[in-house]
Chain A
Amino acid sequence: MSAEIGQWCLILAVLFAIAQGVFPLLGAARGIPLWMSVGRAAGRAQFLFLAIAFGCLIDGFIANDFSILYVASHSNSELPLYYRVAATWGAHEGSMLLWALILSVWTVAVTLFCRSLTLPFQARVLGVMGLISTGILLFILLTSNPFDRLVPMPPDGNDLNPLLQDFGMTIHPPMLYMGYVGLSVAFSFAIAALLGGTLDSAWARWSRPWTLVAWIFLTFGIVLGSWWAYYELGWGGWWFWDPVENASFMPWLVATALLHSLAATEKRGAFKAWTVLLAIFAFSLSLLGTFLVRSGVLTSVHAFASDPARGLFILVFLALVVGSSLLLYALRAPSIRDSAHYALISRENLLLMNNILLVTAAASILLGTLYPLVLDALQWGKISVGPPYFSNVFAPLMAPVILLAGIAPLFAWREASLAKVWGKIRWLAPAALTLGIITTALFWELKDIKVLAGLSMAFWLIGGTLLSLWSRVQLRSSVLEGLQSQSLSSYGMTIAHLGIAVFLVGLVLSDRHSVEKVVRLAPGDTAAIGRYDFIFKGIKTVDGPNFKAQEGLFEVRSEDQLITELKPQKRSYRVQRNTMTEAAIDPGVTRDLYVALGEPLDAGAWSVRLYYKPFIRWIWFGGLFMMMGGLLALLDRRYRRHKMDPLVTA
């Protein structure tokens, strides 16, 4: 029964989405207040029905209703309850429904927090979101209906992909989607402003918090995904430059650029046309990511359901949404006038450089991701573009971004005095380099240029960030007063920039000094990595709810001190009949110890992968720092509702 209710709710939701898309936009164009006010009610109704539909699908999973095709394909009566609930968004149909649900959550948020916007502007924002939602819901109903029945009903289900039976993977998609879909708000604001001709600093001020929230979720989603790949895929990597990962990274880079350009647009009215284009790009890349993942045009390590019919639908949808936005942009952008004037040496221009570099990085990733497809389409041969390409291209683009981030906050808006800035940072470069040399020489080897460069850059960034905080604090009579006078968003920026430094340390050290060993170990054998001895104690069989596992026991000792016991597993899942490597990790601030079982060899011996990964956690700490910075900035007083001026209608 619940499947039919869900189905009907889905259909009702489409109808409300159409109403939300059509009436407010027409009303705003013709100046009919009643039509304009339809958006808010329709958006809320849409959310209600989507929530019920989603609830029905979850119910199908909880109740093991294998007469629903989607449940039968992705769940099993032996699957623990927690994973049954999470399986709801574990595959294509359900995750698209989650996408739609999250879009409606954002819609409701807009109806709640944007009440002080003028009615036409509100109507246009909700109208654009309604049209996007209509497309996605039609896609679900026509090509990927999660409520399709299966006749005859099978006795049991096909189980969830074991890779996804993991805590990190259950919350990764909702977080990532909150980010992807959240960018639709900034996008809708941009389109509404282009339609209404209200592209001013109030528009930028309104867009900023929404972009920030989406960016925070996106950051968190990517960090979770990377962490999951690290401990679940079993070979110790944390980023593979895989098309699916690139699909989430490109919007992140552009959203980061957007956050910075919005600051300039809000504070100084600078590069409005560019900012609006970035808002369009950011969400377009989210949609493109959805297309790449769902259409199967690219092969990826994360093998999801893919189907050309679905691909065609999303491609048409993508072409309509992005094509019409870019056309609107091409029509309206020439009339956008920037009022701001500023010198060549100014905060504005440094932000512009940051933007150029970040967007170039995103565009290069797009180029690398699509290039094999283009060559294939032209029948010029098949190639693979992998990690060596992306790291070669990415590193030279990011190095200047990091160097700029260290000093840009010291530059004044409008016109900065080079002499003044120089006075503040005279010692920064030598100090950073000296610290870099000392730490590298102390803990590693001085001839390791990459570590030296990476650590020096991290010190540069930390030093510059703290200097700029200090230079602002100094303006007040006492340090305490100075610290108190800083806005939360300036603290947010400080912490986010420090996060880049933390990330950089983790990246460089884990890349240069990880040790990997593949060894043959019989019970009682010892393998050594550096000062750590891994002693293989033996193997036993353990039972899980829907799998049987071979569990190894390893003692890790250092100078005869017991450090930890690690229990990696080799699981074989009963229903899906595949084996999964469940690595065992001893996490630490300065190093991870990582053991993964390979295959059984002769006489009770096993092949075992052992890893020593220095500072790898700093990679995710860095990401979390950036996220915390975003959160702090979000709490800034400026974004409280009553403080924000309404947009002026044109």
Chain B
Amino acid sequence: MRFLIPLGVFLVMVIFLAIGLSLDPRNLPSPLIGKPAPTFQLSKVEEPSQALTPESFRGRVILLNVWASWCVSCRQEHPVLLELAQRQEVPIFGLNYKDQLTAARDWLSKFGNPYEASGFDQDGRVGIDLGVYGVPETFVIDKKGLIRMKHTGPVTPQALEKDILPLVERLKQEP
């Protein structure tokens, strides 16, 4: 009987390794899910004299997209966001993370601006409060200002249709 112990332990290990193969070790769940979005006050990239705060989108279900002009994969998701903005299903706000103001503006005028407004987070403090570790990242924030979902990496059409938009629809039904 005791000679079967090594085999048993090994088989359990193999099962976990097999599950492990389908997991992405780099994908981190955010501890902020279900918690209120951090408060901040940033000047808008488009109009630095105006401020962007969570009050700007209180009462609405929105996407908060973290982007930067130096970020290569932001270019990749940009057309997806532009198309989403045109459909007007959900407002997109931007968090311009550790960027230069002129570079960010050039980038928006060159590739198009899907954002209702982008906050200019030059030193990345708001990014840290949001637990940002790799740009681009996208948060779904509900009407009460709670973070309900975080998508790391470029937003793909699949992720949008499968996960993000269905959640947005559900959140819109909430009071």
Interface residues of A (CB under 8 A from B): 273, 277, 280-281, 284, 291, 295-299, 308, 311-312, 315, 318-319, 322-323, 326-327, 329-330, 333-334, 370, 372-374, 376-377, 381-382
Contact = CB atoms under 8 A, between A and B. Distances in A.
Nearest to A332: B3
Task: Choose among A273, A295, A382 the residue with the greatest number of B CB atoms under 10 Å from its CB.
Answer: A382
A377 B23 contact: yes
Interface in B53-85: none
Nearest to B29: A382
A323 B3 CA distance: 13
Contacts of A323: 7, 10-11, 14
B128 interface: no
Contacts of B22: 308
B7 A329 contact: yes
A318 B26 CA distance: 24
Nearest to A382: B28
A363 to B, nearest CB: 9
B4 to A, nearest CB: 5
Contacts of B175: none
Contact of A308 (B13, B14, B21, B28): B21
> Interface SS of chain B: helix, strand, loop or mixed?
helix
B16 interface: yes
A599 B11 CA distance: 49
B17 A315 contact: yes
B6 to A, nearest CB: 5
9 contacts: A277-B6, A281-B6, A315-B14, A315-B17, A326-B7, A327-B7, A330-B6, A330-B7, A377-B16
A295 B21 contact: yes
Nearest to B7: A326
A291 B10 contact: no
Given A308-B22, A377-B20, A370 B6 contact: no
Given A322-B10, A323-B10, A311 B3 contact: no
Nearest to A379: B29
Contacts of B16: 370, 373-374, 377
B72 to A, nearest CB: 13
A296 B25 CA distance: 8
Task: Choose among B3, B13, B20, B28 the residue with the greatest number of A CB atoms under 10 Å from its CB.
Answer: B20
Nearest to A336: B3
Given A326-B7, A373-B17, 10 more contacts: A277-B6, A297-B17, A308-B22, A312-B21, A315-B21, A330-B4, A372-B25, A373-B25, A382-B28, A382-B29
Contact of A329 (B3, B13, B18, B26): B3
